[in-house]
Amino acid sequence: MFQTKYSWYGIGALILLLFGIAEQARGAVIFQSERLAFETANPGLMIEDFEKVNIPTGEVFGFPGEPLINNATNNTYFSTGDIRSGIEFQISGDSNFRVSNNYFINTTKSILAAQAAADILINLNPGVTTVGFDIYDIGGADDRVLVEVLGSSSVLSNFTFNLEALNQQFIGITSDTDTISRIRLTHLFTGLVYPGAYGIDNVAFGGVASVPEPFTLGGTVLASAIGLYMKRKQKAP
């Protein structure tokens, strides 16, 4: 009886441990800063590169009163359908976007916040598991940006990214199971220096969550553990 009791305790502990491991695996978010490694690990993503925007080379223009850029945008610079379906770009507060064509640090066509303190939001519908984008800072000093990764009902993760002045960098984000519905970029103050304007380009997105549910894993482990216990019990004298 003593042996049987504690055998079941051992099985229960094993199940709880594996459920815990499975739960820790859920919702994990991985960040990358190398575009080549990101694209190699996530082939076939859709990319919004803003190359259909109607703007001459070497120019930058703003369009006040339009806080959203999406597939339905129709104005001087974008025609309906120029932006891919499933993604939209939003600016916070009373700010607005600007569009640029090789005006800053040798970037091609891209979008940027007209006001440095404004948040840039990347909205994804339906949600995806993978998002990556180039980000650049046109200020005269290094800045920081807070990157928040949001699911349908909660913040999945966040981190602070160092922006190098007058340089284009890359941020790649992958969620192993929970879908990403929004990326929020918040430009942060750096000491007494007000942050310079910043923008994004070449936004890659896609991926569908397909990792088995922890309950399925736990159920499989439970069945195996009970089978092993019964087999040992049958062999016992």
Could you report the per-residue pLDDT of 78-117, keeping only the tens digit for each? 999 999 999 999 999 888 899 999 887 767 899 999 888 8
Dump pLDDT digits (tens) for 135-152: 998 876 788 899 999 998
| CA distances from residue 108 to 56, 75, 124 in whole angstroms, order as listed | 11, 20, 23
The pLDDT score that the predictor gives to residue 119 is: 95
Q: Is 120 exposed, middle or buried (0-12, 13-18, 19+ CB in 10 A)?
A: buried
Which pLDDT value is given to residue 2? 42
Domain ranges within the chain, ordered by starting residue: 1-26+211-237, 29-210
Among 122, 99, 124, 101, CA closest to 197: 99
What percent of the chain has a predicted confidence (pLDDT) above 90?
53
The Cβ of residue 131 has, within 10 Å, a number of other Cβ atoms equal to 26
DSSP string, 152-180: SSSEEEEEEEEEPBTEEEEEEEEESSSPE
Tokens of 36: 């080549």
Among 90-94, 184-188, 196-200, 218-222, the minimum mean pLDDT is found in 218-222
Distance CA 67, CA 48 (A): 18
Architecture label for domain 29-210: Sandwich (2.60)
Confidence (pTM): 0.77
Choice between 224 and 130, residue whose per-residue pLDDT is larger? 130
* Helices marked H in 31-166: 35-41
Measured in degrees and rounded to the nearest 5, phi and psi for residue 80 equal -55, 130
Neighbours of 89 (CB within 10 A): 20
